[in-house]
Structure 1
Amino acid sequence: MTDRGILSSLRYLFADFIGEDDDDTAPFLPEGLPEPVTAVASDAIHLLIDYQGPSYARLYVHRLRRFIGKQGVDDAMLTEIARLMAVRMSYEDPIRIAQLKLAELDGRPAGSTGSVDVRKLRLDELIGALPAVVAEYVLDALEWMGWAHKSVPIRFSTASRFGIRRLKIEAGLRRWRLLSVRYAKERVWVERWLHMIDRSLTKQPQAASAMIHTATMIVGYGEVYRQGMADWNAIIDGLAKPTFDGVLALPDLAGAVAEARAAAMPDPRQMVLKRKIAEIRARVPAGSPTVVPSS
């Protein structure tokens, strides 16, 4: 992650936290945004305002602006960056699950009894949604006891006044989300994903679309989220980054990424995926030039 990316994220974090621009005004779409992308970007802005607030939506616009008019980025590619970045920036944490559950009340018929969702969340996910100043000590203790990855069933209920009150408390933690352990990790991931897209456009443009769509590997919460994040890092560290660094001469990085993704399985040890990455790397002829062609 670049220093500029860190500073930008922190600037928007503290603007939201101290209420510098805490209003309902949506940020403007970035100047020069192609017309085919405007609907996706506009929907994303409103989603992220609901998710976190106006300054968080401005961070989205700031990130999207990097790719407007960039060589090699056509309207379809920019649309996918806009769409997938919004999905990733509205990641599912306990706060978001509570927000979405509360939203069901708006369309609930009078006299209905509500409903209960039970989600299996890991303890480190639950604690990771809290401000880091509190969460880090608790996470250290959970790691020491070997409980950090333990899954627990959590009820999200609109079926009683107590359940609704609890949802409102959980959703109210939104104000602290940008100070959480989870947000710090997500901020780094988004910046690294964007950086990989940037590097692909420079080093191997034909693989840029594959880099963009690696974002779909990371979804949901719990073990599915953890597995997707681990697999993404394995593919980036094993194939993409070495290619961009000139260490690995993969002439078809997009094909290699697709092959590796097909080998990813729900296995915490990643045995099949790691074997596939090693196999792909072994196919590169010894003494191959380290400069990957840009055309």
Structure 2
Amino acid sequence: MTQAQPIKIAILAMGGEGGGVLADWIVDLGEHNGYYAQTTSVPGVAQRTGATIYYVELFARDETEARAPILALMPLPGDVDVVLASELMEAGRAVQRGLVTPERTTLVASTHRVYSIAEKTAMGDGRVDDRALIAHAGQAAKRFVRFDMAQAAEASGSVISAVLFGALAGTGVLPFSRRQFEETIERGGVGVKPSLRAFDLGHARAGADEAADGAKDEARNQPQDKAQQRAPAPRDPAVARLLERVRTELPVEVQSFAVEGVRRLIDYQDPDYAALYLDRLAKLRGKVADAPEILLRETARHLALWMSYEDTIRVADLKTRASRFERVRGEVRAQADQLLAINEFMHPRIEEICETLPAGIGRWLARPHAVHRLVERHTKAGRVIKTSSLRGYLMLHAVARLRGMRRRTLRYELETARIEAWLQQIVQSAQHNPALAVEVAQCQRLVKGYSDTHARGLANYQTLMGAVVHAGARLAPATLRELRDAALADEHGHKLRAALARHALA
């Protein structure tokens, strides 16, 4: 006779997503319907506010058996029936730990992402490929149910745990009816209506054909129809002229990047600044005969990023926008009648202060003298500015209003010289090796961020450009790509210096 086995369920959730509530619901569901139930949890303290593994075991009661079963405290690799993951990376972690197996495990996961610290702090694009995660999870699981549960939770005014509970019911892997699941939520007595709405959405999506879900995932990654991408004609004549220049002066394959560049620089400064962007692209195209489209495209992309560098004016502007306050309120789910305090931790260096001033005054203040030392002394401790208060908001708003004088500041003068030198290097490289010029254009990826982050990235960039000038025409595109990847992998430059030594370019 085969011995009865418990139903084993692992829940992987991050802080604030209701993983504990979900585990309690499953325990309550089992206990009210003839099962022994036990839940344990192991909290995590790393990554995104700490991910926790909740483990639930359900064992059918046997009235003829006097002894209660001994249930396990933790999931074992290869011995889990159901895995519930509140986010796609958590599903990947479950697969990595061996909790998901193709012979046994039903995996239910949300496809939205909350990026890890390592992904956010990478100098380059540190994001894990979502499609690779989905493919690996699909291969590892017996059945893989997936959709954007964060969106479903938002639409229902609830949390992901309720959507996951509905998806679990929709899979039919547990021996309970939908009504029994709903009664569990009702017994909780807290947030019943929104939880039931979220449960219903999760149940409906999990019950849908998974092939249709896969088709939707594929369609989501495909480019939209050109008619859908076509934006309405701008009302501002100056903006209309800029877009007309893009259409007439640049190849079709480059135009979408240039349009985004124009949009970004108008938001950053004004239409005249966006016109300077197009002037620089036109000048480059005139100097590089028969420039390959990839070179123009990469230059258009990275030139827009460089010209919208993050100075103190830009940082203050972004921190005081109404859209930011709305986003923060939405992220913390603050109600309309609730007060929200936002503290900004500001630590401007003496360099940022000098560079925000008109060029002449900034250069004077940057020199070592009594005033320089006095200002520098006041930058050591840093400041906390509450932008949700009138005083803090007006302080940063006043800095943001300096946008009108940005093109007279020391920072603008410095960045203009760097941009022009970068464009000139692209032209020189393109004359003997267009592929190398593309790699030079992409080296702009190193120049990003604000304050110390910007300083370290700029130092790596300047080291790399020194190697490009030193090597000249003998530098292979693949070598420059390797050097750039080394610089992006280590913001302090240790890997870059090692790579330069390896190629005799130190």
Q: Distance in 2 between matches of 1:101 and 1:24?
A: 29
Match status 1:63 vs 2:280: yes
Partner residue of 1:212? Answer: 441
Q: Distance in 2 between matches of 1:107 and 1:141?
A: 40
For 1:128-143, what aligned pairs fall within 5 Å after superposition? 128-141=355-368
Tell me the secondary structure at the aligned position of residue 191 of structure 1.
helix
Q: Distance in 2 between matches of 1:33 and 1:157?
A: 45
Equivalent in 260, 271, 287 of residue 43 of structure 1: 260
What TM-score does the superposition give when structure 2 sets the normalisation length?
0.45
Number of residue equivalences:
252
Match status 1:98 vs 2:316: yes
In structure 1, the gaps of 5 or more residues are 1-22, 284-295
Q: Distance in 2 between matches of 1:282 and 1:177?
A: 37
How many angstroms does 1:263 deviate by?
3.8
For 1:258-277, what aligned pairs fall within 5 Å after superposition? 258-264=481-487, 265-267=490-492, 270=493, 273-277=496-500
Inter-CA distance 179–201: structure 2 relative to 1 (3 Å threshold): same
Equivalent in 46, 53, 60 of residue 270 of structure 2: 53
For 1:140-159, what aligned pairs fall within 5 Å after superposition? 140-141=367-368, 145=373, 147=376, 153-155=382-384, 157-159=386-388
Q: CA RMSD in A?
A: 3.0
In structure 2, the gaps of 5 or more residues are 1-235, 330-335
Inter-CA distance 141–80: structure 2 relative to 1 (3 Å threshold): same
Residue 197 of structure 1 contacts residue 212 of structure 1 at CA under 8 Å; is this kept in 2? yes
Inter-CA distance 35–154: structure 2 relative to 1 (3 Å threshold): farther
For 1:80-119, what aligned pairs fall within 5 Å after superposition? 80-105=298-323, 108=326, 113=340, 115-119=342-346
Partner residue of 2:348? Answer: 121
Partner residue of 2:469? Answer: 241
For 1:268-287, what aligned pairs fall within 5 Å after superposition? 270=493, 273-281=496-504
User: Which has the higher mean CA deviation after the structures are superposed, 187-196 or 125-134?
Assistant: 125-134
Q: Distance in 2 between matches of 1:209 and 1:80?
A: 7
Tell me the secondary structure at the aligned position of residue 141 of structure 1.
coil
Q: Distance in 1 between matches of 2:436 and 2:448?
A: 22
Q: Distance in 1 between matches of 2:409 and 2:369?
A: 17
Match status 1:174 vs 2:403: yes
How many angstroms does 1:98 deviate by?
1.1
Residue 41 of structure 1 contacts residue 82 of structure 1 at CA under 8 Å; is this kept in 2? yes
Partner residue of 2:47? Answer: none
Residue 292 of structure 2 contacts residue 434 of structure 2 at CA under 8 Å; is this kept in 1? no
Residue 217 of structure 1 contacts residue 228 of structure 1 at CA under 8 Å; is this kept in 2? yes
Deviations 1:211-232 (A, max 9, x none): 1110001110122111111111
Inter-CA distance 212–169: structure 2 relative to 1 (3 Å threshold): same
Tell me the secondary structure at the aligned position of residue 127 of structure 1.
helix
Q: Distance in 2 between matches of 1:151 and 1:256?
A: 40
Match status 1:188 vs 2:417: yes
Structure (1 or 2) with the larger CA radius of gyration: 2
Tell me the secondary structure at the aligned position of residue 66 of structure 1.
helix
Residue 34 of structure 1 contacts residue 75 of structure 1 at CA under 8 Å; is this kept in 2? yes
Tell me the secondary structure at the aligned position of residue 118 of structure 1.
strand
Inter-CA distance 129–145: structure 2 relative to 1 (3 Å threshold): same
Tell me the secondary structure at the aligned position of residue 159 of structure 1.
coil
Structure richer in helix, relative to its length: 1
Q: Larger RCO: Structure 1 or Structure 2 (Cα < 8 Å, ≥ 6 residues apart)?
A: 1
Equivalent in 214, 234, 238 of residue 25 of structure 1: 238
Q: Distance in 1 between matches of 2:251 and 2:385?
A: 40
Deviations 1:116-143 (A, max 9, x none): 3324332211321111222222211379
Q: Distance in 1 between matches of 2:237 and 2:396?
A: 22
Alignment-mate amino acid for residue 275 of structure 2: R
Residue 72 of structure 1 contacts residue 201 of structure 1 at CA under 8 Å; is this kept in 2? no
Q: Distance in 2 between matches of 1:105 and 1:194?
A: 34
Tell me the secondary structure at the aligned position of residue 458 of structure 2.
helix
Q: Distance in 2 between matches of 1:142 and 1:274?
A: 34
- Identity over aligned residues, as a percent? 27
Q: Distance in 2 between matches of 1:166 and 1:182?
A: 20
Structure richer in strand, relative to its length: 2
How many angstroms does 1:86 deviate by?
0.7
Equivalent in 62, 67, 75 of residue 293 of structure 2: 75
Q: Distance in 2 between matches of 1:198 and 1:40?
A: 20
How many angstroms does 1:145 deviate by?
4.4
Residue 151 of structure 1 contacts residue 222 of structure 1 at CA under 8 Å; is this kept in 2? no
Partner residue of 2:98? Answer: none
User: Which has the higher mean CA deviation after the structures are superposed, 35-44 or 175-184?
Assistant: 35-44
What TM-score does the superposition give when structure 1 sets the normalisation length?
0.74
Residue 80 of structure 1 contacts residue 212 of structure 1 at CA under 8 Å; is this kept in 2? yes
How many angstroms does 1:201 deviate by?
0.8
Residue 298 of structure 2 contacts residue 441 of structure 2 at CA under 8 Å; is this kept in 1? yes
